[in-house]
Amino acid sequence: MARTEEEIREDVLNHLYWDSRVNESNIDVVVKNDTVNLLGSVPDYIAREAAQRDAHNVRDVGTVNNQLIIRHNPESTSSHDQDTETRVRDVFLWNSAIDANRIEVSVNNGVVTLKGSTASYWQKIVAEEMAFEVRGASKVINELAVVPTRSFTDNEIAQDITAALSRDKIITIDAIDINVKDGKVTLAGTVGSSAEIYAVWNIAKNTEGVVDIVNYLTHS
């Protein structure tokens, strides 16, 4: 018998309560079908990522829409937007994996907006994660475009992803449908666990030529 949305919601809340990395008191969980929406605030990036992973690990959860913002301690909120912007720019400059010259940073009331471009999808994700970790950043709006340094056909991208998936010992490739259109990868199917969903997404993220990923994978 399929579980109700309320039963799934209760399990997600209990899982968040169990995890000592997460202060669930300011988190609201809304479930629609197999999609879990996380709303509210957490104290830091570690808690935000842990909450998303916890929700993914709950049985019958397919997609997690993480809308949690980072609410810093009072002593941190006095940081001005200009200071936060400078810190984000510095972090990009210090990381050789990111071409800081291609990224525009602006901050308004703690909300960091990233514009410009990166050469790969994984760099876009890393830039967002790095910005989230900066003191004074409560939310990151990632508007970075992915502009690869050379052109890739959709068939090349699909073949590279498929080959990498087939080499991974935890992935059941026959359960996964991969579609690539103009560099945008769509993943679908039902796999064995949330760890497998993450592994598939991670491989797609790190594949050359990928400009975006739509992840419809669910786990049994």
* 14-29 exposure pattern, b = at least 16 Cβ within 10 A, e = fewer: ebbeebebbbbeebeb
- Cα–Cα dist 188/39, whole Å: 25
- State yes or no: pLDDT of 78 exceeds 50: no
- State yes or no: pLDDT of 44 exceeds 90: no
Mean pLDDT of the chain: 91
pLDDT at 73: 60
- Cα–Cα dist 62/86, whole Å: 38
CATH dotted code for 74-146: 3.30.1340
Domain borders along the chain are 5-70, 74-146, 154-219
pLDDT at 1: 64
Does the domain at residues 154-219 carry the CATH identifier 3.40.50.9100? no
pLDDT at 117: 97
Any idea which residue has 């786990």 for tokens?
219
Higher pLDDT, 114 or 134: 114
Does the domain at residues 5-70 carry the CATH identifier 3.40.1130? no
pLDDT at 79: 55
- State yes or no: pLDDT of 75 exceeds 70: no
5-70 and 74-146, same CATH topology: yes
- State yes or no: pLDDT of 27 exceeds 90: yes
